[in-house]
Structure 1
């Protein structure tokens, strides 16, 4: 076995690991607070002497603390610390000297350190040469917190038994991400002037309203009000509230997919998304907020269908127009009252000019500005953003003069909609030309963007631009895009919000509409959308490799941030008939689509290419066939799926894409194994070629996957030792690469081989590894598999309640994440059937029912409690049940 077994088992009474924090009290106060916060976020216990100890505590006292601790964590900067009378070293060095040899050591040194004391330099030199210690530098408390949290989580996974201690340390904090609904956004500012609206919407919900439409013009504050009303109402819903952002959805047919994404329901392509949604929602008591519905009005009947199928579901919809469907109750969102308008102006003005206040000299002007803007919140925010350079009187004068002459869009828009659009245009008139050009180009983004993406799109990807480029020839390459972007943020036309340590930017829907209109009017829309697609196509080549290594989890999250932009890029390429680039972008991100449960959506893209009636390049055809057939490998009564996958593999070979051929052969082998009469001999041959191709190209991720399928062939042939060997080799590959997705797959399969060979304890540990890894990835399919493995372990131990609880939880997890229709590679039902056929069948049924009500976090806790059980005697080798 390549992964580490328990080297240091923790058995503290409260099952919390204790982290001894060593530092001098003469400095690093903020850093100690950050460290303590990071430790407690992982549900660990910090041992810190500022919690009541003296500068140099008696040696026996901190020796006792060290002996009761499980990790030594040292913080160092410039001070060596006080040396007590009759002592040769400070307490800081003494603590390190007395640290038990078997205690893991994490050391963090702050830099720069211009005045470091010589004795501390000597101590740090000694620590750096100590191969028992992990030694890192940091600069800020925030950076330190990130390092501490990440290093402790990694250390726990490597060094400590997967028990309740590990559970509290890391896994439970990830478990509730597995089906991670899009919870209500957390606005950065207070809601002004809407208390009565929130109360009235609450009364409508209490009175039985299940579909409430907040309607009004863009910029009136519908979204912000809906979030506040949902926050107030959510405690009355057992499953809380979920937010469905439809800003980036322009096709009514994609609304069910957007709802599924918000709920954590996967679109695997083996059943209609609406069917999966009905299954996921039928027993839930949930409030759903759907934002910006006006652009997908034909999807209204889908909402009615969901409400009919899910009696515990209620909806709050924001739209500029009513949906006109059954059960709809409308609430018209009006402008802010005068007093509230002024309050909002002052609050937003403070963001750019903290010393701004209402005075007798400016009160009439501020009121006049708010009146001129018809009490429209967004318009007021745009005007208030200018208070840094314009007085209220100047604002009023300019608004009065400009709003009367600006057209700002269609004349048939409602009056307040025209007011807002004119205000947006007024605001852009105050920008410099380059800033207006940048705003227009940023309109092609969906769901936000990074600075790098903005720079690429602003300059057409650097193509055919020069320093004196005009508006028809891209953004000047020597212009300071960052400065111009900052000006747009200052003007409230663009918002900035950080995602971890990465800044992201976004635009309100109506501002984006305005920007795109400007881009269309200039004739640049096609060229800028092409630059947008090229940016994500270029980045996908880099991301493809990152997804297979130790930064996999980070990159899965980063791609999720760009999901709407990737969809927009695909829609542009498909709409342009650019089948080759559309297929390439999809194929490079295959691993992301799979893990995120979006293969069904990709299938619709590739169906569009196949059904276009146009000639496709051989490589493009192979990609399209792969995506449309691989998710159907288990539905192949006439062998057509296997035949198409065989042809696709041959085309990948012919077009010199060995990795594409190898990946397609995995799906082909699965199709050969799935039928009533599996072709084991051919599946073995197909996978041996696949493994060779992956090996020759240095694709360790692919080779590890090929070994898993080869192991499955061995299981079907009852060659259990060979299967175990193949799964072990796969696990070793994945762990050498830091590939968590592959580790989850290999550990789960290895668990079954161990169990069938009678090695129950090893199986328990392998299934536990699969559970913890899946929780960390937020991967419901992997977690369901891991729980099902634990079902078999609990059943063998005669633990009826635990077996039933985990079986029920796994079943509910599959239903709620849309994974209940397709094939599964699991054998746990045979172990449950053994219990069901005996006297405990009623207890089992009750336990399964109870297990369905467990949260994901609770199910993981119960599974890992099973993993921490006292080792059992080995069971007899098991006959391999037939995989379903």
Structure 2
């Protein structure tokens, strides 16, 4: 099945003048069948099977049988066969299975090529033959759709009559990936599909149950056996090549030449030479890395790797190989995790993503051998998993690291693990869990006498108190305590974090001037450190502080700076959060078109990345905007979509935001009782709010009350004149005044009824207004 691209490539090569093509590939790749399919379209074909042939005699005897030509002495045999082939003109000669031929036999093939210059030769082998003018075509796994079709066809022959259920599709895709889509492996495993489910087949393969030997045949004929073919290739390797192949089984996925030198040793030159020899035998793949740039990465076919892993176990060298692997990838992973905060975070993030599976495998393997190394591997992986997921891997990795660090009774290591959990829980809005771990991290840091680690832990406790809204004043006190600890330890990074925490807590406590000062101080330190991601967060936080003071243009500039820095990081989660903040600011400032554009970009981003939390947040924001705009039905529709998403997530913060938005929608239904002159208003659930001593707010509300019966929205210019009659104000400053006043009225209880519409503000025409 399939192979149309390969067949077209062969036709093109022969048409371009190639005389001899060798199909190269590992055992089970389907080289023989591809050669047979190509030959089926030819008029004159000589087919010669050479499996097991080694000496020139073996080659000549097999070819003489194919041509039906009697042989004499060996030298005369070459001449006689050459004449017979030449007489056939432009015939296609298929020589199948040349990997066992000796050098003398290869020389015989060369002589036959010379004797029949018009013939075209198609050979199959697991390694290059070294023939003059040889053209090699690599044969690997089938394209996934063809591999799936082959599996299902063979499974039906094995007795599976049931169609594939939708839930089984991911299982089949995973199984075929494990088999590298190699046709023979697919067929042999599918032959068991009459008695084993897809889940059972996948589990059996993962447990290294021998599914590749092929089932018994009714006729008693020797079955196809992929394991036997791989073992035959193994037997042909030198001692050094066998050692390289079995040690290469410790790699989970592609690996670089540098990694090969570190693990396989003793140098890049030696590793390259050994791997190249294995590549020549189709036991190792060498492909350009996905990042481009010409860097070559090596990998093993899964069936080859499984066989090599068995050999590694038998050799007694497995622990040594796994230790070498772990030392390299933990060192590299830690370096890249540290670089995530540096000046080239996108490159570090992409590089860490490429080796993530290797780092995670080091964590799993070292748990029983070198637990400290296992914890370091978990911390390196967490730097990426915390933001990219998957959630289950992130949780299990950090849980495992916590168990190990606790058992080791290494307080400094334990503090690092607990703080990593604090950050990750905090990112997900799980503030109770984050605070528990932050407090534990502080105790461990105190035991270790590490003031810098204690400062980070105190920062974590402050963060949870602030973000949960539980105790902003206590959050501010703790942030200042953490700042003092960081300065005492001389830890500039922790100092920058704590400055940002002081600023955010000060803003939550309505100490706007202190917030601005501390945000600026934090940015100075972060620029000095070159922490691009933290700088992005710092600019975003400063933007929020400026926005709270009505300084919209300055806030917008910092939001845009934060957005640009987030793009440099390649952190789509952070980029999305800043887009959301910018969209909210634009909406609040009345720039509705800009707000919609930013929210649309955010929606595209979260759909692309599959960020379900981001999807929920965008729908919550749309619900808020709809309620504030007086479109209750649209708000409820968006809220329904958000609620459906949050039901699939363990994110209490999102559930709270859904309920807050729902309350905003319901509040819009309750009547509003007002004083005609705006001295006070009264609503269910809010009570009476006195504005008699707040002149500008009173005058603004009076203007809105007056416009309500006509359903008119009042522009910012009209509201400025109403709230500050007779004053001459710069347009931008005036707009800031109006926005701050509107924001205050909403906070006092009018959020659901003071809506934006028709380029201005109005009390929702649908609300029942009663004059008191």
Q: TM-score with structure 1 length normalisation?
A: 0.47
Distance 2:92 2:418 in 1: 68
Distance 2:452 2:91 in 1: 69
Distance 1:752 1:613 in 2: 38
> Paired residue for 1:768, among 560, 583, 595?
560
Partner of 2:125: 383
Taking structure 1 as reference, are residues 567 and 219 closer, same or farther at Cα in structure 2, changes over 3 Å only? farther
Partner of 1:441: 247
Deviation track 1:515-563 (CA, whole Å, cap 9, x = no partner) reads: 2122112111122112111112223443344233213221111111101
Taking structure 1 as reference, are residues 593 and 417 closer, same or farther at Cα in structure 2, changes over 3 Å only? farther
Answering whether residue 53 of structure 2 is matched by residue 192 of structure 1, we say no
Q: CA shift at 1:785, angstroms?
A: 1.7
Taking structure 1 as reference, are residues 765 and 432 closer, same or farther at Cα in structure 2, changes over 3 Å only? same
Distance 2:550 2:384 in 1: 36
Secondary structure of the structure 2 residue equivalent to 1:482: helix
Distance 1:409 1:637 in 2: 42
Answering whether residue 278 of structure 2 is matched by residue 488 of structure 1, we say yes
Taking structure 1 as reference, are residues 843 and 368 closer, same or farther at Cα in structure 2, changes over 3 Å only? closer
Answering whether residue 227 of structure 2 is matched by residue 457 of structure 1, we say no
Q: Bigger CA drift: 835-844 or 434-443? A: 835-844
- Taking the TM superposition and a 5 Å limit, the aligned residue runs for 1:260-339 are 335-336=33-34, 338-339=36-37
Secondary structure of the structure 1 residue equivalent to 2:5: coil
Q: CA shift at 1:725, angstroms?
A: 2.5
Which protein, 1 or 2, shows the higher relative CO under an 8 Å CA cutoff with sep ≥ 6? 1
- Taking the TM superposition and a 5 Å limit, the aligned residue runs for 1:611-622 are 615-619=407-411, 620-622=413-415
Distance 1:342 1:656 in 2: 78
Distance 1:733 1:613 in 2: 32
Q: CA shift at 1:564, angstroms?
A: 0.9
Distance 1:657 1:507 in 2: 45
Partner of 2:547: 755
Distance 1:689 1:342 in 2: 81
Secondary structure of the structure 2 residue equivalent to 1:504: strand
Answering whether residue 450 of structure 2 is matched by residue 663 of structure 1, we say no
Kept in 1: contact 2:456–2:494 (CA 8 A): yes
Kept in 1: contact 2:442–2:457 (CA 8 A): yes
Kept in 2: contact 1:622–1:648 (CA 8 A): yes
Kept in 2: contact 1:805–1:850 (CA 8 A): no
Answering whether residue 500 of structure 2 is matched by residue 708 of structure 1, we say yes
Q: CA shift at 1:831, angstroms?
A: 11
Distance 2:618 2:211 in 1: 66
Answering whether residue 306 of structure 2 is matched by residue 513 of structure 1, we say yes
Kept in 2: contact 1:443–1:515 (CA 8 A): yes
Q: CA shift at 1:433, angstroms?
A: 2.2
Aligned-CA RMSD value: 4.8
Kept in 1: contact 2:503–2:516 (CA 8 A): yes
Answering whether residue 294 of structure 2 is matched by residue 552 of structure 1, we say no
Q: CA shift at 1:745, angstroms?
A: 0.8
Q: CA shift at 1:753, angstroms?
A: 1.5
Deviation track 1:16-65 (CA, whole Å, cap 9, x = no partner) reads: xxxxxxxxxxxxxxxxxxxxxxxxxxxxxxxxxxxxxxxxxxxxxxxxxx
- Taking the TM superposition and a 5 Å limit, the aligned residue runs for 1:563-602 are 563-574=356-367, 576=368, 578-588=370-380, 590-597=382-389, 601-602=393-394
Kept in 1: contact 2:96–2:123 (CA 8 A): no
Q: CA shift at 1:710, angstroms?
A: 2.0
Partner of 1:525: 318
Aligned length: 489
Kept in 2: contact 1:623–1:648 (CA 8 A): yes
The structure with the larger Rg is 2
Taking structure 1 as reference, are residues 503 and 661 closer, same or farther at Cα in structure 2, changes over 3 Å only? farther
Kept in 1: contact 2:479–2:502 (CA 8 A): yes
Answering whether residue 603 of structure 2 is matched by residue 875 of structure 1, we say no
Partner of 1:538: 331
Distance 2:607 2:96 in 1: 56
Q: CA shift at 1:432, angstroms?
A: 3.1
> Paired residue for 1:792, among 563, 566, 584?
584
Partner of 1:340: 38
Taking structure 1 as reference, are residues 194 and 515 closer, same or farther at Cα in structure 2, changes over 3 Å only? farther
Taking structure 1 as reference, are residues 451 and 363 closer, same or farther at Cα in structure 2, changes over 3 Å only? farther
Q: TM-score with structure 2 length normalisation?
A: 0.54
Answering whether residue 214 of structure 2 is matched by residue 414 of structure 1, we say yes
Q: CA shift at 1:760, angstroms?
A: 1.5
Secondary structure of the structure 2 residue equivalent to 1:505: strand
Kept in 2: contact 1:428–1:436 (CA 8 A): yes
Distance 1:764 1:817 in 2: 26
Secondary structure of the structure 2 residue equivalent to 1:647: helix
Q: CA shift at 1:477, angstroms?
A: 7.2
Kept in 2: contact 1:720–1:753 (CA 8 A): yes
Secondary structure of the structure 1 residue equivalent to 2:254: coil
> Paired residue for 2:532, among 740, 744, 754?
740
Partner of 2:77: none
Q: CA shift at 1:834, angstroms?
A: 6.8
Secondary structure of the structure 1 residue equivalent to 2:6: coil
Higher helix share: 2
- Taking the TM superposition and a 5 Å limit, the aligned residue runs for 1:18-29 are none
Distance 1:709 1:823 in 2: 27
Distance 2:123 2:420 in 1: 46
Deviation track 1:186-214 (CA, whole Å, cap 9, x = no partner) reads: xxx9832499xxxxxxxxxxxxxxxxxxx
Distance 2:530 2:436 in 1: 35
Tell me, which stretches of 5 or more residues in structure 2 are unaligned?
A: 10-24, 42-81, 102-121, 135-207, 216-221, 643-730, 748-772
Taking structure 1 as reference, are residues 567 and 191 closer, same or farther at Cα in structure 2, changes over 3 Å only? farther
Secondary structure of the structure 2 residue equivalent to 1:585: helix
Partner of 1:654: 447
> Paired residue for 1:836, among 619, 622, 627?
627
Kept in 1: contact 2:263–2:321 (CA 8 A): yes
Distance 1:523 1:774 in 2: 48
Q: CA shift at 1:340, angstroms?
A: 3.5
Q: CA shift at 1:366, angstroms?
A: 3.5
Distance 1:635 1:801 in 2: 30
Distance 2:299 2:430 in 1: 48
Q: CA shift at 1:726, angstroms?
A: 2.3
Q: Bigger CA drift: 842-851 or 585-594? A: 842-851
